[in-house]
Structure 1
Amino acid sequence: MAYLKPPWFTAKVFNKIAMATGVSGSETLTVTARTSGQEQKIPVITVYVDGVRYVVSTRGESQWVKNVRANPVVTLETKVGAVRFTAAELPVADRPPVLAAYRAKAGKTVDGYFAKLPEAADHPVFSLDPV
């Protein structure tokens, strides 16, 4: 599976600002690293489709995706507090409606990722079920 590595500025500066301010509707996803056991925090934009909340990896097979597959219990921090979820990966065939809703919500900021990774298989999608 493909992966688009973020530029240094995004990884070291912008992501921290996004998590601190909630810019563009971002929330903070906390996962457990599969080898070290330490927390990994990443900004994400969640989307609801048919009453289910989802998180999408716009950059493909990222480290957080691999970590969620290894340990699906995650925490999502929003402006109203933190909630624990169990994440379940969607099969590729079920991803298109979620990806369409995600692209509509996230806007032009994610168009470049989908231009470089155009297939639904390129974007892991996880449903979030409260623990």
Structure 2
Amino acid sequence: MSDRDYRAPGMLVRRVLNPLVGALAQRGITPGDTAVLAVRGRRSGRIRTVPLTPVLLDGTRHLISPRGETDWVLNLRAAGGSAELRGRGGAEPVSAVELDAAAAVPVLRAYVRGLGRAAGMLFDDVDPASTDAELAAAAPRHPVFALR
């Protein structure tokens, strides 16, 4: 058993929603900026994909993991931040840099506020009314990456 901080999605999300949203995102027919992150698997070496919604803040796109140290987070770290973002504009190579807790606070705030009341479906420790101190305390459990 792993000691990583991870909240597994339910079967419906894993088996139905993620594949459906991923397929739609790669065809450019999802709402908003939903895209598919493609990153090499740390054990298999195969390309793994997951639909994500980047957050744009101060001209930089960011990826947030509300569920903690998910496989995509571990794979992205193992790949040195090298990945591909697939969506409306086709496939774009990206380099992801993980932010420390202090730098992650404004990104988490923007993401949680953008989710509104739906934030409770993804986060169990922060919501749109969370203070900077609460977001900073939660940041280590929700990895945030800046895309370059």
Q: Normalized against structure 2, the TM-score is what? A: 0.80
Cα displacement (A) at 1:24: 4.5
Contiguous gaps of at least 5 residues in structure 2: 127-137
The one of 80, 85, 105 equivalent to 2:89 is 80
The one of 91, 97, 117 equivalent to 1:108 is 117
Cα displacement (A) at 1:77: 0.7
Q: CA RMSD in A?
A: 1.5
Q: Residue type matched to 1:89 in 2? A: E
**1:1-131 alignment to 2 at 5 Å?**
1-22=4-25, 23-25=30-32, 26-71=34-79, 72-114=81-123, 116-118=124-126, 119-129=138-148
Larger Rg: 2
Q: Residue type matched to 2:24 in 1? A: T
Cα displacement (A) at 1:110: 3.1
Contiguous gaps of at least 5 residues in structure 1: none
**In structure 1, what is the Cα distance between the partners aligned to 2:68 and 2:56?**
20
Q: Per the alignment, do residues 43 and 107 of structure 1 end up closer, same or farther by CA in structure 2, a change over 3 Å counting? A: farther
Q: Per the alignment, do residues 76 and 123 of structure 1 end up closer, same or farther by CA in structure 2, a change over 3 Å counting? A: same
SS in 1 for 2:12: helix
SS in 2 for 1:5: coil
Cα displacement (A) at 1:102: 1.3
**In structure 2, what is the Cα distance between the partners aligned to 1:27 and 1:91?**
24
Equivalent residues of 1:56, 1:126 under 8 A apart: yes
Q: Normalized against structure 1, the TM-score is what? A: 0.89
Residue 129 of structure 2 corresponds to which residue in structure 1?
none
SS in 2 for 1:59: coil
Q: Per the alignment, do residues 39 and 5 of structure 1 end up closer, same or farther by CA in structure 2, a change over 3 Å counting? A: same
Q: Percent identity?
A: 35
Q: Residue type matched to 2:147 in 1? A: L
Higher strand share: 1
Bigger relative contact order, structure 1 or 2 (CA pairs below 8 A, ≥6 apart): 1
Residue 132 of structure 2 corresponds to which residue in structure 1?
none
**In structure 1, what is the Cα distance between the partners aligned to 2:144 and 2:111?**
10
SS in 2 for 1:95: helix
**In structure 1, what is the Cα distance between the partners aligned to 2:62 and 2:117?**
19
